[in-house]
């Protein structure tokens, strides 16, 4: 009768949610996140670090076998050699730090194998041991088993790393039996490996029980595919709200991976707090908060906060004076503008200034092309009485903005850097803040960026997630307003600051439509983001690896949008007062007569940035055939 029962650990007592090499990959990512600037150029990739580690493990195993042991190694020795190989200069030993991190990563991935519980129960009267071929010693393995709070007591763990003996040779079984003073016939062993746990143990006379081995599809190289399943959170489409929710699920990777890349950048660059700019930032920050609550990175994460800002809320406060030079920062983007629109953009009441406008024959509603060349505007800017009067307002605007930042965010014009996130597209809010907080370096992270209209302030830098110019110019540019719209929180835009508070304005139609169309989509995005985040906890990726997936998704959305997404797009109403003093509203559908007019449809289609959406929205799919035939003809005749 058996006196003891021993268990293999991996895939027997413990299972992982990922391939074992992905645990090592997470350690490689930890090294990059914490020590990137100290690494040799070759090892700026998690895959190169993993490859080098595996090579070192193999070399250590070979060396130990040549020295009379089995082909085993100790993780601490591997880490010591690894750091000598990958770092530019010699540094203090971090092997204990890396071991601690790898143990924590294992904890994020492991769970008790349900298959083992009946075996525990059946043999509960026997003393229980573990015999494991693994590069971690018994102390580390005990920590992992204790973390799982096993329902049984393990008397001792025999790890190949401690003895440099393994089950494959049979030597670790013999060592355990020698110490425990038992014979093979007194011994039952449980494991998943057909050779090491079953055939070798049987050959020694040990009774065995086989558990099921888990196989993972994993290729340790750049470009490996994601394997999360978002369909698990989709709803049965009984209502329009359900359909919009499911559209949000499909869109979630864009939102999540943008947030993931922000957090990774902040970790690597030791940024303590990330500020998300309203409005879209109120949606983006929820991904940061999700990641912070359920950390997939395994390192300390930066804090996050909202700053209530807008182009309108910050522009007038950023002006040194009312002058052609300063206003060119606005006019470079809006080359045609009325005085009424200008004052709306500045959030300054035009009424007290109408006498000055009249003095120079400036009609408030008149659209002026290239205002900086207009003699009347030049004379207005040269009028000292006018500029002195409006300077008081500009100074007040700046003072009120500074009061808000100091009271609400404890941000002052000191030398402490600031890092902010916005959707894009040229970073003008960041520029405005840089003109206000002149002592700060202000960094900005964006979904994507286009060429700047203005000379960039010296105290700024900007980064974009979508940095592929082809995707940016062909896909994103076509549906740029959609990408703003789906992240709209419906809270309105900041127009000015009063007594330390940000004053917002939102059109009722905007908030109503956000509630009807956008909120259900955002709910889908957030639910799906939780699924992606759980996946990322066990499957380490660097942020750059997520981009291709996002690019493919953007192409798919642009060329084949769902009807629900198009309906949401054409319901659009949002505040675009800055520069134009107008609200953006999408046009109504074409009439039946207009649809039948090929030339009318063609002319309207030429004006549309997102042509696929326009065709589907207006049920004029026949235009696809016509444009396709035209494209084919051009190719046949060699025309561009």
pLDDT tens for 373-407 read 999 999 999 999 999 999 999 999 999 999 999 99
CATH number for 4-210: choose from 3.40.50.300, 3.40.50.1450, 3.90.190.20, 3.40.50.1000. Answer: 3.40.50.1000
Mean pLDDT confidence for 624-632: 51
Residue 591: pLDDT over 80? no
Tally of helices (H runs) and strands (E runs) in the chain: 29, 18
Taking only the tens place, the pLDDT of each residue in 198-238 is: 999 999 999 999 999 988 888 888 778 899 999 999 999 99
Q: Mean pLDDT for the chain?
A: 91
Residue 91: pLDDT over 80? yes
Residue 577: pLDDT over 90? no
Return d(Cα 372, Cα 581) in angstroms, integer. Answer: 19
Question: Which pLDDT belongs to residue 601?
Answer: 74
Q: Domain ranges for the chain, please list them.
A: 4-210, 587-636
Closest by CA to 579, choosing from 334, 278, 329, is 334
Residue 281: pLDDT over 90? yes
Residue 537: pLDDT over 50? yes
Question: Which pLDDT belongs to residue 624?
Answer: 66
Taking only the tens place, the pLDDT of each residue in 488-530 is: 999 989 999 999 999 998 888 888 889 999 999 999 999 999 9
What torsion do the CA atoms of 111, 113, 117, 123 make, to the nearest 10 degrees? -110
Query: The tokens of 486 are what?
Result: 């789906």
Question: Which pLDDT belongs to residue 573?
Answer: 61
> CB atoms < 10 A from the CB of 394, how many?
20
Contact 133, 167 (CB under 8 A): yes
Mean pLDDT confidence for 15-37: 95
Closest by CA to 164, choosing from 82, 98, 75, 97, is 75
**pLDDT band, residue 581 (cuts 50/70/90):** very low
Cα angle, residue 587 at apex, residues 584 and 593 outer, rounded to 5°: 170
Mean pLDDT confidence for 254-262: 98
> CB atoms < 10 A from the CB of 384, how many?
8
Contact 162, 45 (CB under 8 A): no
**pLDDT band, residue 107 (cuts 50/70/90):** very high
Question: Which pLDDT belongs to residue 414?
Answer: 96
Give, rounded to a whole angstrom, the gap between the first and last alpha carbons of the chain.
85
Taking only the tens place, the pLDDT of each residue in 416-469 is: 999 999 998 999 999 999 999 999 999 999 999 999 888 899 999 999 999 999
User: How many residues would you count in the chain?
Assistant: 640
Mean pLDDT confidence for 99-121: 96
Return d(Cα 625, Cα 631) in angstroms, integer. Answer: 10
Contact 540, 29 (CB under 8 A): yes
**pLDDT band, residue 587 (cuts 50/70/90):** low
Question: Which pLDDT belongs to residue 626?
Answer: 56
> Distances in Å between the alpha carbon of 423 and those of 254, 291, 348?
12, 19, 26
Residue 369: pLDDT over 90? yes
DSSP class of 87? B
Max Cα distance, the chain (Å): 111
């Amino acid at each position: 009768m058996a006196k003891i029962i021993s268990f293999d650990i991996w895939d027997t007592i413990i299972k992982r949610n990922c391939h074992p090499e992905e645990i090592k990959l997470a350690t490689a990512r930890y090294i990059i996140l914490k020590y990137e600037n100290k690494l040799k150029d070759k090892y700026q990739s998690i895959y190169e670090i993993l490859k080098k580690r595996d090579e070192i493990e193999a070399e250590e195993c070979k060396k130990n076998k040549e020295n009379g042991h089995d082909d085993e190694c100790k993780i601490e020795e591997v880490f010591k050699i690894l750091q000598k190989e990958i770092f530019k200069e010699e540094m203090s030993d971090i092997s204990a730090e890396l071991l601690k991190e790898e143990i924590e990563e294992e904890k994020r991935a492991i769970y008790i194998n349900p298959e083992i519980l009946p075996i525990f129960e059946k043999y509960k009267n026997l003393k229980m041991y573990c015999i494991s071929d693994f590069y971690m010693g018994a102390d580390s393995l005990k920590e992992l088993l204790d973390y799982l709070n096993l329902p049984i007591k393990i008397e001792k763990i025999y790890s190949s790393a401690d003895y440099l003996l393994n089950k494959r040779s049979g030597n670790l079984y013999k060592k355990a039996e020698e110490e425990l003073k038992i014979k093979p016939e007194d011994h039952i062993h449980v494991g998943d490996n057909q050779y090491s746990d079953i055939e070798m143990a049987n050959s020694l006379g040990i009774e065995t029980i086989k558990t099921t081995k888990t196989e993972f599809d994993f290729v340790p190289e750049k470009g490996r595919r994601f394997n999360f399943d978002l369909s698990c959170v989709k709803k049965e489409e009984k209502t329009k709200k359900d359909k919009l929710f499911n559209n949000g699920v499909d869109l979630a990777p864009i939102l999540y991976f943008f947030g993931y890349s922000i957090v990774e950048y902040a970790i690597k660059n030791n940024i303590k707090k990330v500020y998300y700019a309203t409005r879209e930032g109120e949606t983006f920050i929820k991904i940061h908060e999700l990641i912070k609550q359920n950390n997939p990175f395994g390192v300390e994460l930066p804090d996050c906060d909202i700053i209530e800002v807008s182009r309108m809320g910050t522009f007038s406060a950023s002006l040194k004076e009312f002058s052609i030079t300063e206003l060119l920062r606005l006019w470079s983007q809006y080359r045609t503008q009325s005085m009424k629109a200008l004052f709306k953009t500045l959030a300054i009441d035009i009424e007290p200034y109408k006498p000055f406008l009249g003095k120079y024959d400036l009609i408030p509603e008149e659209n002026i092309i290239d205002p900086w060349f207009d003699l009347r505007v030049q004379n207005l800017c040269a009028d000292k009485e006018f500029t002195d009067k409006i300077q008081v307002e500009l100074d007040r605007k700046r003072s009120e903005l500074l009061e808000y930042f100091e009271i609400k965010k404890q941000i002052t014009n000191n030398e402490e850097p600031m890092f902010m996130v916005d959707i894009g597209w040229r970073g003008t809010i960041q520029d405005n803040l840089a003109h206000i907080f002149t002592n700060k370096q202000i960094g900005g992270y964006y979904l994507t960026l286009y060429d700047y209209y203005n000379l960039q302030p010296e105290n700024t830098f900007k980064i974009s997630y979508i940095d592929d110019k082809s995707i940016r110019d062909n896909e994103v540019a076509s549906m740029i307003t959609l990408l703003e719209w789906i992240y709209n929180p419906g809270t309105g835009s900041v127009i000015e600051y009063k007594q330390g508070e940000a004053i917002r304005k939102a059109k009722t139609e905007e908030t109503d439509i956000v509630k009807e169309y956008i909120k259900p989509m955002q709910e889908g995005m957030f639910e799906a983001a939780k699924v992606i985040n759980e996946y990322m906890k066990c499957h380490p990726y660097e942020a750059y690896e997520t981009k291709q997936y996002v690019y493919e998704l953007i192409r798919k959305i642009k060329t084949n949008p769902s009807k629900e997404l198009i309906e949401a797009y054409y319901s659009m109403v949002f505040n675009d007062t800055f520069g134009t003093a107008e609200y953006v509203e999408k046009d109504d559908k074409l009439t039946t007569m207009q649809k039948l007019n090929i030339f009318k449809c063609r002319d309207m289609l030429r004006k549309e940035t997102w042509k696929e959406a326009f065709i589907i929205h207006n049920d004029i799919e026949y235009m696809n055939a016509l444009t396709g035939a035209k494209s084919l003809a051009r190719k046949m005749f060699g025309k561009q």
